Amino acid sequence: MNYKSTRGHDVPQTFSEILLGGLAPDGGLYLPQQYPQVSADELESWRKLSYADLAYEILARFCDDIPAEDLRALTRKTYTPEVYCNARAGDNTADITPLRKLGDEAGAPLYLLGLSNGPTLAFKDMAMQLLGNLFEYALARAGQELNILGATSGDTGSAAEYAMRGKRGIRVFMLSPHNKMSAFQTAQMFSLQDPNIFNLAVQGVFDDCQDIVKAVSNDLEFKSRQKIGTVNSINWARVVAQVVYYFKGWLLATDGPGQKVSFCVPSGNFGNVCAGHIARMMGLPIDKLVVATNENDVLDEFFRTGIYRVRKAAETYHTSSPSMDISKASNFERFIFDLLGQDAGKLAQLFRDVDTKGGFDLSGTTDYERIRQFGFVSGRSTHDDRVATIRDLSARYGVTIDTHTADGVKVAREHLSAGTPMVVLETALPAKFADTIREALGREPERPAAFEGIEALPQRFEVMPADAAQVKAYIARHTGL
């Protein structure tokens, strides 16, 4: 299995060659030269596999340059009930991603897929824990070190840091928007005292952080000298690790071959739902991929109108579902590449337009008309919607959900089809967003015992302006390279 860039860089790369990097040399994102196909018979044969062994079966199709016994050992080391131990009462932790039925609405079974039972209570742990083990394995095999540069709007940072803390040969430099995360999210990251973890609070919004990461990645000389890698959702290994739980969710929601399932995905950077798109391209019987946004509705606007219009920092709202406060979806390019029939030249021009004109317009084109063939629909949710949905699920089903998952449930309900299961991906546990839970329910959300009092722990971070040059200087000072 070799990989190519969405923008046409034509030097084939193996999985291990792209594992530690981010952008391709031409600024594009990596995709496999072809999507491996999974037959109905293969799907049925996977019904009794553990999550770890299911992950092996899927990942082996994308990374055939890692010996099978090593890859299986890595997935079994990663996906254990001991690591993913924060499930709700009544959920089976052995499933790793337990499926909980809420009820039947409009003739459709409505489910939550629990992706937030890992060390940081967010779905990012599903891929990041594997990434930490893959990185350590690959670096040890090559005798190398790696300096990870990432940007987070809330959950990626803590998931990356908890996955990489104490790992040999790895440092993490994580950028986050200063004073824009919840108190719980901030404490999860900034309370870590591990010497290989560096937190930089950038004076700006998430998109400023992401732009800095891209600017550093595009400085090829600096990137090479400083041994820079990425764990943001543009990293292919992270995307493909997320593909696994779509297969697991489908297997848990069905009992026979060919049955269609829809998935609703709270979306900001498009990495999570991009994994669903890839699963569908591999042959998983997905009916709809429902993109749920908050007030930062760039993606909803595109799927409704064909217009992709990036918002400026001043136009990006700070909301109660802050991990989706994103106006430039970095993984969106992967889907657009497929939508354009993998025309790299056309894709490159569109994303030059993003850089120079702030977006592009496919409305009225045959490309836009093809979107429905890929199963995508969308909707948006507001703060009032989140509060109402949290109250409704608590009253109706006795389940408390976080703000991002509430966005997902609200939009999922707008796209139900009788007889077709709708699986909403639960993106975080409610303990991470206590302010809105208190507003909605008048009480504190439950939190695992290990996280009691985390906000009171000492914090270690550095405030920095939104300036790529200053970030590069900081990295160089702390690596000594």
pLDDT tens string, the chain, 481 residues long: the values are 999 999 998 788 999 999 887 788 898 999 999 999 999 999 999 999 999 999 999 999 999 999 999 999 999 999 999 999 998 888 999 999 999 999 999 999 999 999 999 999 999 999 999 999 999 999 999 899 999 999 988 778 899 999 999 898 899 999 999 999 888 889 999 999 999 999 999 999 988 998 999 899 889 899 999 999 878 778 899 999 999 999 999 999 999 999 999 999 999 889 999 999 999 999 999 999 999 999 999 999 999 999 999 998 889 999 999 889 888 898 999 999 999 999 999 999 999 999 999 999 999 999 999 999 999 999 999 999 999 999 999 999 999 999 999 999 999 999 999 999 999 999 999 998 999 999 999 999 998 888 889 999 999 999 999 999 999 999 999 999 8
Report which of 466, 391, 336, 469 is spatially closest to residue 6, judged by C-alpha positions.
336
pLDDT at 119: 92
Report which of 348, 267, 261 is spatially closest to residue 301, judged by C-alpha positions.
267
Query: Which sequence positions are flagged as catalytic?
Result: 124
pLDDT at 282: 98
Please list the alpha-helical segments (H only) found in 60-123: 68-78
Q: To 10 degrees, what angle do helices 155-164 and 124-142 make?
A: 40
pLDDT at 227: 93
In the three-class reduction of DSSP (H, G, I as helix; E, B as strand; rest coil), residue 203 is classed as strand
Question: What kind and span of H or E run contains 293?
Answer: strand 286-293
> 329: which DSSP letter?
-
pLDDT at 11: 86
Which residues are within 8 A (CB) of 190 and not within 5 positions of it... i.e. 6 or more apart?
Answer: 199, 459, 460, 461
Cβ count near 131 (within 10 Å): 23
What are the chain's domains? 34-121+236-436 (3.40.50.1100), 145-226+453-477 (3.40.50.1100)
pLDDT at 349: 97
* Rounded Cα distance, 266 and 326, in Å: 12
pLDDT at 217: 85
Q: 340 phi and psi, to 5 degrees?
A: -85, 15
* Rounded Cα distance, 125 and 115, in Å: 8
